[in-house]
Amino acid sequence: MTKDLTPAAESAADKISLSTKDLSPEDRKMLRGIFLHSFNVFTIYAGGARAGASGFMWSIWPAIERFYKTPEERIDAMKRHSTWYNITSNVGTFCMGLVASMEKENSERDDFDTHSIDSVKASLMGPMSGIGDAIFWGVLRVIAASVGMALCADNGSIMGPIVFFLIYNIPSWLTRWFLTVLGYRVGSSFITKVYESGLMNIVTKLASTLGLLMIGAMAASFVKFNMILSIPMPEGDPVMIQAYLDTVFKGLVPLLYTLGCFSLLRKNVNVNYVIIGTMAIGLVLGLVGIC
Protein backbone atom coordinates (compact mmCIF):
# COMPACT_ATOMS: atom_id res chain seq x y z
CA MET A 1 0.00 0.00 0.00
CA THR A 2 1.51 3.35 -0.99
CA LYS A 3 1.10 6.67 0.70
CA ASP A 4 0.91 10.08 -0.91
CA LEU A 5 4.03 12.14 -0.41
CA THR A 6 3.75 15.25 1.69
CA PRO A 7 4.89 18.56 0.10
CA ALA A 8 8.09 18.40 2.13
CA ALA A 9 8.77 14.85 0.97
CA GLU A 10 8.06 15.77 -2.65
CA SER A 11 10.42 18.73 -2.35
CA ALA A 12 13.12 16.48 -0.94
CA ALA A 13 12.54 13.97 -3.73
CA ASP A 14 12.96 16.69 -6.32
CA LYS A 15 16.35 17.79 -4.99
CA ILE A 16 19.21 17.30 -7.37
CA SER A 17 21.88 14.87 -6.18
CA LEU A 18 25.55 15.12 -7.11
CA SER A 19 26.01 11.37 -6.70
CA THR A 20 26.20 9.05 -9.69
CA LYS A 21 25.29 5.90 -7.74
CA ASP A 22 21.72 5.82 -9.01
CA LEU A 23 22.74 6.47 -12.62
CA SER A 24 23.15 3.68 -15.13
CA PRO A 25 26.65 2.38 -15.94
CA GLU A 26 26.29 3.93 -19.40
CA ASP A 27 25.49 7.33 -17.87
CA ARG A 28 28.47 7.14 -15.54
CA LYS A 29 30.80 6.12 -18.37
CA MET A 30 29.52 8.99 -20.52
CA LEU A 31 29.93 11.57 -17.74
CA ARG A 32 33.47 10.38 -17.03
CA GLY A 33 34.23 10.76 -20.72
CA ILE A 34 32.86 14.33 -20.82
CA PHE A 35 34.82 15.18 -17.66
CA LEU A 36 38.12 13.88 -19.06
CA HIS A 37 37.58 15.38 -22.50
CA SER A 38 36.79 18.78 -20.93
CA PHE A 39 40.45 19.27 -20.00
CA ASN A 40 41.20 19.75 -23.70
CA VAL A 41 38.36 22.17 -24.40
CA PHE A 42 40.66 25.07 -25.30
CA THR A 43 43.62 23.05 -26.57
CA ILE A 44 42.61 23.89 -30.13
CA TYR A 45 41.30 27.46 -30.23
CA ALA A 46 39.29 28.02 -33.40
CA GLY A 47 39.87 31.78 -33.56
CA GLY A 48 37.59 34.69 -32.82
CA ALA A 49 34.77 33.34 -34.99
CA ARG A 50 34.32 30.01 -33.20
CA ALA A 51 36.57 30.24 -30.10
CA GLY A 52 36.38 26.89 -28.26
CA ALA A 53 33.84 25.24 -30.59
CA SER A 54 36.24 22.46 -31.62
CA GLY A 55 37.06 21.69 -28.00
CA PHE A 56 33.40 21.70 -27.03
CA MET A 57 32.60 19.20 -29.79
CA TRP A 58 35.40 16.97 -28.51
CA SER A 59 34.20 17.33 -24.92
CA ILE A 60 30.58 16.47 -25.73
CA TRP A 61 31.50 13.61 -28.09
CA PRO A 62 30.85 10.82 -25.51
CA ALA A 63 27.20 11.95 -25.38
CA ILE A 64 26.90 12.31 -29.15
CA GLU A 65 28.40 8.88 -29.66
CA ARG A 66 26.07 7.30 -27.12
CA PHE A 67 22.74 8.88 -28.04
CA TYR A 68 23.03 8.92 -31.84
CA LYS A 69 23.60 5.67 -33.69
CA THR A 70 23.87 6.77 -37.32
CA PRO A 71 26.64 8.88 -38.89
CA GLU A 72 24.05 11.34 -40.22
CA GLU A 73 22.63 12.02 -36.74
CA ARG A 74 26.09 12.47 -35.28
CA ILE A 75 27.11 14.86 -38.07
CA ASP A 76 23.98 16.96 -37.49
CA ALA A 77 24.74 17.13 -33.76
CA MET A 78 28.37 18.12 -34.34
CA LYS A 79 27.30 20.83 -36.79
CA ARG A 80 24.99 22.16 -34.11
CA HIS A 81 27.93 22.62 -31.77
CA SER A 82 30.33 24.16 -34.31
CA THR A 83 29.19 27.66 -33.28
CA TRP A 84 31.09 30.06 -31.01
CA TYR A 85 31.74 28.74 -27.49
CA ASN A 86 33.64 30.33 -24.64
CA ILE A 87 33.04 29.53 -20.95
CA THR A 88 35.73 29.45 -18.26
CA SER A 89 36.95 25.86 -18.48
CA ASN A 90 36.72 25.26 -14.71
CA VAL A 91 32.93 25.67 -14.73
CA GLY A 92 32.09 24.97 -18.38
CA THR A 93 31.35 21.31 -17.62
CA PHE A 94 27.95 22.36 -16.25
CA CYS A 95 27.02 23.47 -19.76
CA MET A 96 28.42 20.22 -21.18
CA GLY A 97 26.36 18.09 -18.81
CA LEU A 98 23.25 20.13 -19.55
CA VAL A 99 23.78 19.86 -23.30
CA ALA A 100 24.32 16.10 -22.95
CA SER A 101 20.91 15.75 -21.28
CA MET A 102 19.28 17.86 -24.01
CA GLU A 103 20.91 15.74 -26.73
CA LYS A 104 19.52 12.67 -24.98
CA GLU A 105 16.06 14.22 -25.02
CA ASN A 106 16.44 15.12 -28.69
CA SER A 107 17.35 11.53 -29.54
CA GLU A 108 14.18 10.30 -27.83
CA ARG A 109 11.64 12.92 -28.96
CA ASP A 110 10.67 13.66 -32.54
CA ASP A 111 9.21 17.06 -31.60
CA PHE A 112 12.28 18.33 -29.74
CA ASP A 113 13.38 21.85 -30.80
CA THR A 114 17.13 21.63 -31.41
CA HIS A 115 17.37 25.44 -31.45
CA SER A 116 16.76 25.31 -27.70
CA ILE A 117 20.13 23.55 -27.29
CA ASP A 118 22.00 26.41 -28.96
CA SER A 119 19.96 29.01 -27.08
CA VAL A 120 20.52 27.50 -23.63
CA LYS A 121 24.25 27.03 -24.34
CA ALA A 122 24.64 30.64 -25.49
CA SER A 123 22.72 31.98 -22.49
CA LEU A 124 25.09 30.22 -20.06
CA MET A 125 28.30 31.70 -21.47
CA GLY A 126 28.12 35.11 -19.82
CA PRO A 127 26.90 34.12 -16.33
CA MET A 128 29.08 31.00 -16.05
CA SER A 129 32.21 32.80 -17.27
CA GLY A 130 31.58 35.66 -14.84
CA ILE A 131 31.39 33.22 -11.93
CA GLY A 132 34.32 31.10 -13.11
CA ASP A 133 36.65 34.04 -13.81
CA ALA A 134 35.89 35.66 -10.46
CA ILE A 135 36.44 32.52 -8.40
CA PHE A 136 39.23 30.69 -10.20
CA TRP A 137 41.16 33.47 -11.94
CA GLY A 138 40.48 36.32 -9.56
CA VAL A 139 40.63 34.56 -6.17
CA LEU A 140 41.88 30.98 -6.16
CA ARG A 141 44.78 31.53 -8.55
CA VAL A 142 45.97 34.55 -6.57
CA ILE A 143 45.82 32.64 -3.28
CA ALA A 144 47.62 29.63 -4.77
CA ALA A 145 50.32 31.85 -6.29
CA SER A 146 50.80 33.76 -3.02
CA VAL A 147 51.30 30.58 -1.01
CA GLY A 148 53.57 29.05 -3.65
CA MET A 149 55.74 32.17 -3.95
CA ALA A 150 56.00 32.47 -0.16
CA LEU A 151 57.38 28.93 0.05
CA CYS A 152 59.85 29.63 -2.76
CA ALA A 153 60.92 32.97 -1.29
CA ASP A 154 61.81 31.54 2.11
CA ASN A 155 64.21 28.81 1.07
CA GLY A 156 63.64 28.12 -2.60
CA SER A 157 61.68 25.00 -1.75
CA ILE A 158 60.44 22.79 -4.56
CA MET A 159 57.19 22.65 -2.59
CA GLY A 160 56.30 26.12 -3.89
CA PRO A 161 55.17 25.10 -7.39
CA ILE A 162 53.76 21.81 -6.06
CA VAL A 163 51.57 23.59 -3.50
CA PHE A 164 50.48 26.10 -6.14
CA PHE A 165 49.50 23.22 -8.43
CA LEU A 166 47.52 21.44 -5.71
CA ILE A 167 45.74 24.50 -4.27
CA TYR A 168 44.54 25.59 -7.69
CA ASN A 169 43.84 22.28 -9.41
CA ILE A 170 42.18 20.16 -6.71
CA PRO A 171 39.20 22.54 -6.35
CA SER A 172 39.16 22.91 -10.13
CA TRP A 173 39.01 19.16 -10.74
CA LEU A 174 36.29 18.65 -8.13
CA THR A 175 34.27 21.53 -9.58
CA ARG A 176 34.61 20.14 -13.09
CA TRP A 177 33.32 16.71 -12.03
CA PHE A 178 30.43 17.79 -9.83
CA LEU A 179 29.25 20.41 -12.34
CA THR A 180 29.28 17.76 -15.07
CA VAL A 181 26.97 15.59 -12.97
CA LEU A 182 24.86 18.56 -11.87
CA GLY A 183 24.37 19.78 -15.43
CA TYR A 184 23.25 16.35 -16.60
CA ARG A 185 20.87 15.85 -13.68
CA VAL A 186 19.41 19.35 -13.83
CA GLY A 187 18.98 19.03 -17.57
CA SER A 188 17.06 15.76 -17.41
CA SER A 189 14.52 16.95 -14.83
CA PHE A 190 14.39 20.49 -16.18
CA ILE A 191 13.63 19.49 -19.76
CA THR A 192 10.96 16.99 -18.75
CA LYS A 193 9.16 19.54 -16.59
CA VAL A 194 9.26 22.39 -19.08
CA TYR A 195 7.96 20.17 -21.86
CA GLU A 196 5.13 18.90 -19.70
CA SER A 197 4.17 22.45 -18.72
CA GLY A 198 4.60 23.88 -22.22
CA LEU A 199 7.27 26.36 -21.13
CA MET A 200 9.98 25.27 -23.58
CA ASN A 201 9.10 27.99 -26.11
CA ILE A 202 9.31 30.63 -23.38
CA VAL A 203 12.62 29.27 -22.07
CA THR A 204 14.06 29.19 -25.60
CA LYS A 205 12.97 32.76 -26.29
CA LEU A 206 14.39 34.02 -22.98
CA ALA A 207 17.66 32.17 -23.57
CA SER A 208 17.90 33.57 -27.10
CA THR A 209 17.26 37.10 -25.82
CA LEU A 210 19.97 36.75 -23.19
CA GLY A 211 22.38 35.40 -25.80
CA LEU A 212 21.67 38.35 -28.11
CA LEU A 213 22.22 40.78 -25.23
CA MET A 214 25.56 39.11 -24.59
CA ILE A 215 26.60 39.42 -28.23
CA GLY A 216 25.52 43.07 -28.30
CA ALA A 217 27.53 43.82 -25.18
CA MET A 218 30.58 42.11 -26.67
CA ALA A 219 30.28 44.11 -29.89
CA ALA A 220 30.09 47.36 -27.91
CA SER A 221 33.07 46.36 -25.75
CA PHE A 222 35.47 44.95 -28.34
CA VAL A 223 34.70 46.76 -31.62
CA LYS A 224 36.39 50.15 -31.34
CA PHE A 225 36.24 53.09 -33.75
CA ASN A 226 37.45 56.56 -32.91
CA MET A 227 37.55 59.05 -35.79
CA ILE A 228 40.23 61.70 -35.31
CA LEU A 229 39.13 63.90 -38.22
CA SER A 230 37.95 67.36 -37.29
CA ILE A 231 36.42 70.38 -39.04
CA PRO A 232 38.52 73.53 -38.54
CA MET A 233 36.61 76.61 -37.49
CA PRO A 234 37.62 80.24 -38.23
CA GLU A 235 37.27 81.02 -34.56
CA GLY A 236 37.45 78.65 -31.66
CA ASP A 237 38.31 75.00 -31.39
CA PRO A 238 37.84 72.62 -34.33
CA VAL A 239 34.71 70.47 -34.37
CA MET A 240 35.48 66.80 -33.71
CA ILE A 241 33.43 64.52 -35.98
CA GLN A 242 33.55 61.70 -33.44
CA ALA A 243 31.79 63.90 -30.87
CA TYR A 244 28.87 64.42 -33.25
CA LEU A 245 28.72 60.70 -34.08
CA ASP A 246 28.51 59.92 -30.36
CA THR A 247 25.76 62.51 -29.98
CA VAL A 248 23.66 60.96 -32.75
CA PHE A 249 24.21 57.33 -31.68
CA LYS A 250 27.06 56.25 -29.43
CA GLY A 251 28.84 53.31 -30.98
CA LEU A 252 27.03 53.73 -34.31
CA VAL A 253 30.01 52.89 -36.53
CA PRO A 254 31.05 49.77 -34.54
CA LEU A 255 27.43 48.57 -34.61
CA LEU A 256 27.08 49.07 -38.37
CA TYR A 257 30.42 47.40 -39.02
CA THR A 258 29.49 44.41 -36.83
CA LEU A 259 26.16 44.04 -38.63
CA GLY A 260 27.98 44.28 -41.97
CA CYS A 261 30.36 41.46 -41.00
CA PHE A 262 27.42 39.40 -39.77
CA SER A 263 25.65 39.95 -43.08
CA LEU A 264 28.72 38.72 -44.98
CA LEU A 265 28.96 35.60 -42.81
CA ARG A 266 25.28 34.83 -43.44
CA LYS A 267 26.04 34.99 -47.15
CA ASN A 268 28.69 32.28 -46.57
CA VAL A 269 31.65 34.59 -47.09
CA ASN A 270 34.75 32.88 -45.71
CA VAL A 271 35.46 34.13 -42.19
CA ASN A 272 39.17 34.45 -43.04
CA TYR A 273 38.31 36.99 -45.74
CA VAL A 274 36.29 38.99 -43.22
CA ILE A 275 39.18 38.98 -40.73
CA ILE A 276 41.78 39.93 -43.36
CA GLY A 277 39.46 42.63 -44.72
CA THR A 278 38.98 44.07 -41.24
CA MET A 279 42.75 44.19 -40.71
CA ALA A 280 43.24 45.89 -44.08
CA ILE A 281 40.54 48.48 -43.42
CA GLY A 282 42.00 49.27 -40.01
CA LEU A 283 45.49 49.63 -41.48
CA VAL A 284 44.35 51.91 -44.31
CA LEU A 285 42.24 54.13 -42.01
CA GLY A 286 45.17 54.43 -39.63
CA LEU A 287 47.64 55.33 -42.38
CA VAL A 288 45.41 58.05 -43.87
CA GLY A 289 44.74 59.48 -40.44
CA ILE A 290 41.00 58.88 -40.22
CA CYS A 291 41.12 56.88 -37.00
Instruction: Give residue-wise pLDDT tens across range 142-177.
Output: 888 888 888 887 677 788 889 999 999 999 999 999
Least confident of 13-22, 116-125, 246-255: 13-22
pLDDT digits (tens, 9 = 90+) for 178-189: 999 988 988 756
Check pLDDT > 60 for residue 18.
yes
pLDDT of residue 14: 52
Say if residue 115 is in the same domain as residue 250. Answer: no
Residue 169 shares a structural domain with residue 192: yes
| 130 and 269 share one domain | no
Task: Tell me the pLDDT tens digit for each residue of 76-125.
Answer: 999 888 888 888 889 999 999 999 999 998 888 888 888 888 888 887 88
Do 144 and 108 contact (CB within 8 A), yes or no? no
Nearest to 98, CA basis, from 87, 83, 82: 87
Sequence-separated (6 or more) residues with CB below 8 Å from residue 155: none
Q: Please indicate, yes or no, if residue 1 is contained in any of the structural domains.
A: no
* Domain carrying residue 85: 20-214
Where among 184, 214, 244 does a domain terminate? 214
Same domain, 164 and 27: yes
Residues 163 and 186 occupy one common structural domain: yes
Residue 6 confidence class, pLDDT cut points 50, 70, 90: very low
> Whole-angstrom Cα distance, residue 49 to residue 275?
9
Higher per-residue pLDDT: 224 or 60: 60
pLDDT at 152: 81
In a domain, 12, yes or no: no
For position 167, what pLDDT does the model report?
92
The last residue of a domain, from among 214, 247, 279: 214
Q: Based on the domain organization, do 27 and 159 belong to the same domain?
A: yes
Same domain? 153 vs 187? yes
Q: Please give the backbone phi and psi of residue 85, each rounded to the nearest 5 degrees, phi first.
A: -140, 130
What is the number of structural domains in the chain? 2
Mean pLDDT, rounded, of the chain:
80
Let me know if residue 67 belongs to a domain.
yes
List residues bridging with 51 in a β-sheet. Answer: 85
Enclosing H/E stretch for 239: strand 239-240
167 and 270: one domain? no
Phi, psi torsion values for 231, nearest 5 degrees? -105, 115
pLDDT for position 209: 72
Last residue of one domain, picked from the residues 176, 192, 214 = 214
Q: Is pLDDT at 132 greater than 80 in this prediction?
A: yes
| 159: CB partners within 8 A, 6+ apart | 151
The region, left, alpha or beta by phi > 0 then psi within -120 to 50, assigned to residue 251 is: left
Does the pLDDT at position 26 exceed 50? yes
3 lies in a domain? Answer: no
Report d(CA 165, CA 145) in Å as an integer: 9
